[in-house]
A and B are shown apart, each in its own frame.
Chain A
């Protein structure tokens, strides 16, 4: 099953995006705790795009798709036309650096890395795509 959602680039939309993802995951039998984590990972990617790639410009938008595969993996794709993210240049900060410098950047992606099984960034048909894969067999 494939589900799609489009949201304008305003942080006010994050709550609606979370609700969309949570509803789908719960319909597919995930527990409250498990759904919560996955919703968080998607929220982090969307928040990064809305704030950093689109400067919270509500005239722009991001598109989210969720595909439940028969092998129990679920693929989340977040697509936009903003500035592409270069994963190769991302260096995970240490917690002590974040505490010392009070710079909060990077925590979101740390969470996504720990929650999801696979994270890919690529470009396709003029879109930047962030593809997150979660394997629910591993639960």
Chain B
């Protein structure tokens, strides 16, 4: 079961992802990020503090945006990962390819928003 909500500000959007992102639910994460990109946001925060599980389907969603975000100069920061979930990002070295920080404060700092 995945839970996704978004909070939009003038400058940025924060997507909160909770529950479990697997082969059956990753499409919802994909759609939400796609909407944020289509809406023209240049700053995207992903709050994963409620995320208990991610499989390759979810990792694949994040990976599929790396190039597009770079081309469109969109800054995306992931924060709040539990240790066990962060470890899954580390297994494939995705922690080096995505911007991942500890908490919301650090994410806002990196995006230069208040």
A residues 5-36 touching B (CB-CB < 8 Å): 11-12, 14-15, 18, 32-33, 36
Q: Is the CB of B63 within 8 A of A43?
A: no
- Would you call B97 and A111 a contact (CB within 8 A)? no
Q: Identify which of A11, A12, A15, A115 contacts B91 (C-beta below 8 A).
A: A115
CB < 8 Å neighbour of B87 from A11, A36, A51? A36
Number of A residues, CB within 8 Å of B: 27
The dominant DSSP class at the A interface is helix
Q: How far is the CB of B16 from chain A (nearest CB, A)?
A: 20
Q: How far is the CA of A51 from the CA of B56 in the complex (A)?
A: 13
B55 adjacent to A43 (CB under 8 Å)? yes
| Given contact pairs A32-B84, A102-B64, A107-B60, A15 touches B92 in the complex (Cβ within 8 A) | no
> Which single residue of chain B is at the shortest CB-CB distance from A31?
B84
In the complex with contacts A18-B53, A47-B57, A11-B64 CB distance below 8 A: no
- Kindly state whether residue A104 has any CB partner on chain B within 8 Å: yes
Q: How far is the CB of A102 from chain B (nearest CB, A)?
A: 4
A119 within 8 A of partner (CB):
no
The interface on chain B, measured as residues whose beta carbon lies within 8 A of the other chain's beta carbons, has a size of: 26
CB distance from B91 to the nearest CB of A (A): 5
Partner of A108, one of B55, B64, B84, B87: B55
Please give the distance in Å from B33's CB to the nearest CB on chain A: 13
- Which of A57-65, A77-85, A92-100, A127-135 sits within the interface? A92-100
Check B114 for interface membership: any CB of A closer than 8 A.
Answer: no
Mask, B81-96, CB within 8 Å of A = 1, is 0011101100111100
**Interface positions of B (Cβ within 8 A of A):** 1, 20, 22-24, 53, 55-57, 59-61, 63-64, 66-67, 83-85, 87-88, 91-94, 97
User: Given contacts A47-B56, A102-B64, could you give 12 more A-B pairs where the C-beta distance is less than 8 Å?
Assistant: A11-B23, A12-B24, A36-B87, A37-B84, A50-B23, A95-B94, A99-B63, A104-B56, A104-B57, A104-B64, A107-B60, A111-B91
